[in-house]
Amino acid sequence: AQTVTQSQPEMSVQEAETVTLSCTYDTSESDYYLFWYKQPPSRQMILVIRQEAYKQQNATENRFSVNFQKAAKSFSLKISDSQLGDAAMYFCAYMNEQGAQKLVFGQGTRLTINP
Amino acid sequence: GAGVSQSPSNKVTEKGKDVELRCDPISGHTALYWYRQSLGQGLEFLIYFQGNSAPDKSGLPSDRFSAERTGGSVSTLTIQRTQQEDSAVYLCASSFSQTYNEQFFGPGTRLTVL
């Protein structure tokens, strides 16, 4: 079974600074997808960024980018120019390309933005 | 357009009672998922519906849990004889298809079993 590990329960960063959230995963599959979701206090999970395992290029969405290291099974999220609205729980998630399209989540990292 | 909606937003029930949680997916989305978010277990998959295929029930924690999806749209998650360990936030998500698999989540139902 696949597992996802986020080793940082909490992180904090000064507004406008850069922060990196860590995620590692374990799988025997070669084709899969990786995601970062944001969950603000409203509880609604919002997709931040996704990465297809077959793509070597790291995904980027505005201030959000990932460092995908397939051999190391590592998938970190970098948030640049942190804003107060970035404060939330961040979940790393894995999905197989084949079979059940269910997300396997990490434990989450609570990100605090200091003004 | 409308996103995934869930009702009720909060539900408080007594141990031993049955509860029904509802999910309205985004119109046109063929895939629907239920997840549970609890302090002890984190976010865990419960059940997955894809079109008219048999659902993937592999994540349901016990036979007290069941779900159905009527007409390929609305889904209801039923928990019978609730226990205190069932207290959690129940999240529903939908996606357009199995190949375009970005899942859009609803706001969840917070269930409290007293």
Question: Predicted confidence band at B33 (pLDDT cuts at 50, 70, 90)?
Answer: very high
Q: How far is CA A110 from the centre of its chain?
A: 12
pLDDT for the residue numbered B98: 61
Q: What is the pLDDT of residues B48-73, one digit of tens each?
A: 998 888 899 999 999 999 999 988 79
CA dihedral A27, A19, A88, A73 (to 10 degrees): 0
Rg (CA), chain A: 14
- Chain A residues at the B interface, defined by Cβ less than 8 Å, are 33, 37, 42-47, 50, 91, 95, 100-108
Ordered by start, the domain boundaries in chain A are 3-114
Lowest mean pLDDT across A19-23, A44-48, B15-19, B76-80: A44-48
Answer yes or no: is pLDDT of A100 > 80: no
Give the other-Cβ count within 10 Å of B52's Cβ.
Answer: 8
pLDDT for the residue numbered B99: 61
Rounded Cα distance between A71 and A10, Å, is 26
Residue A91: closest C-alpha in chain B = B43
In terms of CATH, what superfamily is A3-114?
A: Immunoglobulins (2.60.40.10)
Q: What is the pLDDT of residues B89-102, one digit of tens each?
A: 999 999 987 665 78
Residue B3: closest C-alpha in chain A = A44
Rounded Cα distance between A66 and B33, Å, is 26
pLDDT for the residue numbered B8: 97
Domains of chain B, earliest start first: 5-109 (2.60.40.10)
Answer yes or no: is pLDDT of A69 > 80: yes
Cβ atoms B25, B76 nearer than 8 A? no
